[in-house]
A and B are shown apart, each in its own frame.
Chain A
Amino acid sequence: MRRLHPFTLLAIAGALPALAWTLPAPWGGLATAVLAFALTLTPGASPRLPVFRTALVTAAPFWVFLLLLHDVASTVAIGLRITTMVASFVWLMAALAPSRLVEAMVAAGWGASVAYLFAATLSAVPLLRARARRIVDAQRCRGLSPRGGVASRLRALRALALPLVLSALHEVDERALALETRGLVPGVRRTPLAPPPDSALQRIGRWGLVTVCAAALVWRVTWSG
């Protein structure tokens, strides 16, 4: 799956939630949710089991909230749709390398700085996670307990979140300078280093997904609305 063109990955991750919300509940949502979870287990979305588990754990709380607010039928209907969104997104994060997306966008004629902005949002997650772990370690060695009652948990959250945000904000300026000096300026024509291989089949597949989504929407609006 990882070998697919980034645009194809995006198309799949976009089409599943779109279909989940347009197809009739609960069977439409069930089908897309099953497909999305199947994706998290495909080779390439490595490591496989953690991706599946992350998707499951992230989707679970939504079900609890929905059950508190709605009856069982709506909970199942909306829950399956949200689960599809969550699982598709988690899978996309695992399967799509930001650098490949940038290469693909550059090869498709996008400006490098626009492509960077898009991809930086994706790549920020693992960087922030690594830094958060370092900060938690440092604060524990200053006596901060990540366990305990509400008050101590709130204090722990503050001791993690504040330095994370403050140091990140502080570094934004420096990052901008570094990118500038490394030639990432608006309007630059960047050389694609290793443009991800695309194929006619994948292009047809992408357009096919868009067509299916559009058809599903038209069908829902005109016939079963």
Chain B
Amino acid sequence: MVRLTLDRVTFWYPATKAPALRDVSLDVAAGEVVALVGTVGAGTSTLLLVAADLAPRVIGGRLEGRVHFEAPEEASGGRRIVLPTPWTQVSGMAFTVWDEVAFGPANLGWSREEIARHVDRALAKLGIAHLASREPAALSGGELQRVMIAGILAMDPGLLLLDEPTAELDPAGARILWQLVRELARGGAGVLVATSDSDAIPEFADRVIWLELGRVAAAGAPALVADEALCAAELGTTVADTWRMAGLAAPYPATVADAVRRWPAR
């Protein structure tokens, strides 16, 4: 089974005195979607880089504590991250979207048949099969973001790390993505996703972790996004925040459906 464990991790970027992560412990198991929330600069992106084994291995810096990742032998893809800005992730080596998505799988040395199967499936999952023969440089931000996500999915990751995956998507595209995240977890993958779209979290997350200044401020069930403290930090859902603003008693409803259940007919 795939499992990522961070045990009391503190991380410093190169040439900095203050750590970007402080004493962070968490684990993500197969079949589970964990949402990371925090204000800009709270450390969610850093945490994903550590989880992806890119920090400190590739970007340098110093890490204390323990990061442990276990995957069965056949989990070919291991752990893979989708970064928030799609245009920095394009390989620049592909004239078509299909080849761009195949870039990762080809680097894994798979057979051509296997690559084709994975690429076609990833394109279909993201709803971009119609873009297959388009040139990546000519795509819109939203289309490109979907292509980059497909490029990672095609590598069949055991643990998928997503950093603001809906930043470039329109609402319809975002909804499709959150459904896909759920579907991947059902298929046995572990997913850790940093998002500022609190309103969507109750739809797709099994657990929520709140980071504040590099520390885990709270962790728990998705209902955490309706928590009073989280709302005070501007991280709660719009419904919970509206409830709080109205001065109604906690616990707040997280979603419109929760609110309807809580609201006696008047």
Contacts and interface: CB of A to CB of B under 8 A. Distances in A.
Interface of A: 97-99, 102, 112, 116, 119-120, 123-124, 126-127, 130, 171, 173-185, 188-193
B58 A176 contact: yes
A170 to B, nearest CB: 9
Contact of A116 (B93, B95, B109, B110): B93
Nearest to A102: B93
A181 B106 contact: no
A213 B111 CA distance: 40
Given A177-B58, A184-B107, A190-B106, A119 B93 contact: yes
Given A181-B52, A181-B81, A182-B107, A193 B89 contact: no
A97 to B, nearest CB: 6
Interface string B164-195: 00000000000000000000000000000000
B81 A191 contact: no
Contacts of A184: 91, 103, 107
Interface residues on B, range: 20 to 34
Interface of B: 49, 52, 54, 58-59, 80-81, 83, 85, 88-89, 91-95, 99, 102-112, 115, 137, 151-152, 155
Contacts of A182: 80, 89, 91, 103-104, 107, 151-152, 155
Given A191-B112, A193-B102, A193-B112, 8 more contacts: A127-B137, A174-B85, A178-B83, A181-B80, A183-B104, A183-B107, A184-B91, A193-B115
A191 to B, nearest CB: 5
